[in-house]
Structure 1
Amino acid sequence: MSKLKVAVIGCGSISKHRHLPEYHQNNDVEIIALCDIVASRAEAMQEVYGGNVYTDYKELLAKEPVDLVSVCLPNALHAPVSIAALNSGANVLCEKPMATTKKEAEAMIEAAESNGKHLMIAHNQRFVRSHQQAKALIEQGAIGKVYSFRTTFGHGGPEGWSVDGKDSWFFKKDEAIIGAMGDLGVHKADLIRYILGEEFTHVSAMVETNAKENITVDDNAVCLLKSESGIIGTLTASWAYKVNESNSTIIYGEKGVLRLEDDPAYSLIATYTDGSKVNYELGKIQSNEEGKQTSTGVVDHFVEAVKTNTTPLIDGKEGKKSLEIILAAMASSETGKTIQL
């Protein structure tokens, strides 16, 4: 079988550290095109991975016979560029959050369906082994009825990670639309939906900009969520965790508690009401810290879905449900009301 041809649009940090290395390691694909409005960024990636360089994604889509496109751009561009790529006949892997409005997300789903192409959103948390194990334990009834949870994603902010540092698009309302909630919160919304296996019905939140100066987006948020079966819990997203990154989730159930990515030695600790305890060593979660770049599993899953023509784990509909929780949180914070989904 001939290799699937890949184009990566946007050559910033997420491309450099995640998408391009993971495509490069996959034997079923070939990187044929790179695009960035800053030509030197695409050229730097070309030196490593080859492919033709473009500064205009429309030109790339018109000229290159691509099968797969990764959209690694500021949030405001996710929908228009993904739709253009789907309409050109490519399958699309889009970074999170998939869009900045429900209407945009629906237009992306429609573009995928009408063109018979796959759309996947790059929510990597579903591929973390501790998260998959926790989901399995809950499904098996290991902790009985689930009552509550707390899930958090926080670090010092994207300036240490983004290619533009303090001048990053992440901090600009017109490009990012949503700040820490779009960067980190949406990952946790997707994760908690996945682990619990149910949807959320109510969202209440306080979303603030209180940690960074000269930014026009949120950087600190605490949300209350209620699921369809009545599970209540908190979701926090922050660019204000200055010392240690936190990417932990704790699930409280009738027969036990699951602690995920909350202990330095064990990625999952299950403690049961009968006094027993199980420590799982399942490998480390993804981190943005130098030297901890391991494969997310996202690209391999996307390639496999396209190759076998199967629906990816996080398709457009799944991405939209996770986005809607974040949009509801923003609306709740603005109105002071609980938003019903």
Structure 2
Amino acid sequence: MSKLKVAVVGCGSIARYRHLPEYAANDQVEIVAVCDIVEDRAKEMAEKYGAKAYTDYKTMLAEADADIVSVCTPNYLHAPVSIDALNVGKHVLCEKPMATSEEDALAMIEAAKNNNKKLMIAHNQRFVPSHEKARELIENGEIGKIYSFRTAFGHPGPEGWSIDGKDSWFFRKEEAFIGAMGDLGVHKTDLMRYILGEDFVEVGAFVESGAKEDSTVDDNAVCVLKSESGIIGTLAASWAYQKEDNSTVIYGEKGVIRLEDDPEYALIVHYRNGETKNFDLGKIQSNDEGGQTSTRVIENFVNSIVNDTVPPIDGEEGMKSLKVVLAALKSSETKQIVQF
């Protein structure tokens, strides 16, 4: 079978440390084009991966012979770039959050459907071994009925990760639309939906800013979530944690599951009868490691195209996770519990 051709829009950190290296490591694809409004960045990545450099994504879509487009732009461009790519018959892998409104998310889903192309949102937390194992344990009834959870995703902020440092688009509301809640919180809303196997229906939230100077977006959020079966829990997303925290704890009738909460074991189950089970499943991916381990996002997306299956996190899934974040913003503004 001939290789699938890939074009990447945006040559910032997420493309450099995740998308491009993971495509390059995948023998089913080849990178043919890269695009960035900063010409030097596009040229640098083009040279590194033997691709053609563009500074205008529309020109790239018109000229490059690509099957796949990865959208690695600031948040406000996710929907327009994805829709344009889908409309010219490309499969699209879009970074999270998929869009800045439900309307835009729906338009992306519609474009994928109309053009019979795959759309996947790059929520990588689902592919972490401990998270997959937790879902399996819960599905198998290992800790019985689930009552509650707490999950967090926090680190010192995108200035340490973004290619533009403190001047990054992450801190500008007109480009980012949302801060820590869109950067980290949406990962965790997606993860909890995945692990629990159900959707959230109510949210109450404080979405605050104050940890970052010269920023117009939130950087510290705490949400209370309620699922359709009545599981309640908290979700924290922050750019104010000096040490990264990506942990989740799930409380059930027969025991407690601790995920990414222990320096040695990725998953620990404390049973009600006093027994403890430790699972050594390897480390979760972290920015601290320079992104050496694969997120498995690219692999899953490429496989869905090759095997013509529904991508693990398709547009509908991405939108459900986005809706929780939009509801959290609304709750914080109105100071009321939001049902959705």
Deviations 1:181-234 (A, max 9, x none): 000000000000000000111000000002111100000000000001100000
**Distance apart, 1:46 and its partner CA:** 1.5
Paired-residue identity, %: 68
For the residue of structure 1 that corresponds to 2:148, the secondary structure is strand
Whole-Å separation in 2 of the counterparts to 1:248 and 1:326 = 19
Whole-Å separation in 2 of the counterparts to 1:66 and 1:117 = 13
Over the residues paired in the alignment, what is the CA RMSD in angstroms?
A: 0.6
Instruction: Tell me what 2:249 maps to.
Output: 250
Instruction: Tell me what 2:215 maps to.
Output: 215
Whole-Å separation in 2 of the counterparts to 1:183 and 1:291 = 18
Instruction: Tell me what 2:231 maps to.
Output: 231
Whole-Å separation in 2 of the counterparts to 1:13 and 1:47 = 17
Whole-Å separation in 2 of the counterparts to 1:327 and 1:224 = 14
* Aligned: 1:124 with 2:124: yes
Instruction: Tell me what 1:178 maps to.
Output: 178
**Distance apart, 1:68 and its partner CA:** 0.5
TM-score of the pair, normalised by structure 2:
0.99
Deviations 1:82-136 (A, max 9, x none): 0000001000000000001000000000000000000000000000000000000
**Distance apart, 1:293 and its partner CA:** 2.2
Residue type of the alignment partner of 1:158: P
- How many residues align structurally? 340
Whole-Å separation in 2 of the counterparts to 1:291 and 1:299 = 17
Give unmatched runs, 5+ long, in structure 2.
Answer: none
For the residue of structure 2 that corresponds to 1:289, the secondary structure is helix
Residue type of the alignment partner of 2:18: R
Instruction: Tell me what 1:336 maps to.
Output: 335
Residue type of the alignment partner of 2:89: G
Whole-Å separation in 1 of the counterparts to 2:292 and 2:263 = 17
**Distance apart, 1:291 and its partner CA:** 4.2
**Distance apart, 1:43 and its partner CA:** 1.0
**Distance apart, 1:285 and its partner CA:** 0.6
Instruction: Tell me what 2:281 maps to.
Output: 282
**Distance apart, 1:235 and its partner CA:** 0.5
Whole-Å separation in 2 of the counterparts to 1:57 and 1:316 = 21
Residue type of the alignment partner of 1:300: E
Whole-Å separation in 1 of the counterparts to 2:289 and 2:283 = 14
Instruction: Tell me what 1:141 maps to.
Output: 141
Whole-Å separation in 1 of the counterparts to 2:147 and 2:23 = 40
Whole-Å separation in 2 of the counterparts to 1:80 and 1:268 = 39
Whole-Å separation in 2 of the counterparts to 1:203 and 1:80 = 28
Instruction: Tell me what 1:298 maps to.
Output: 297
**Equivalent runs, 1:36-115 vs 2, <5 Å:** 36-115=36-115
Whole-Å separation in 1 of the counterparts to 2:163 and 2:40 = 12
Tell me which stretches of 4 or more aligned residues in structure 1 moved more than 3 Å. none
**Equivalent runs, 1:198-209 vs 2, <5 Å:** 198-209=198-209
Instruction: Tell me what 2:311 maps to.
Output: 312
Whole-Å separation in 2 of the counterparts to 1:89 and 1:309 = 15
Say if 2:248 and 2:260, in contact at 8 Å, map to a contact too. Answer: yes
Say if 2:268 and 2:276, in contact at 8 Å, map to a contact too. Answer: yes
Say if 2:17 and 2:290, in contact at 8 Å, map to a contact too. Answer: no
TM-score of the pair, normalised by structure 1:
0.99
**Distance apart, 1:154 and its partner CA:** 0.1
Give unmatched runs, 5+ long, in structure 1.
Answer: none
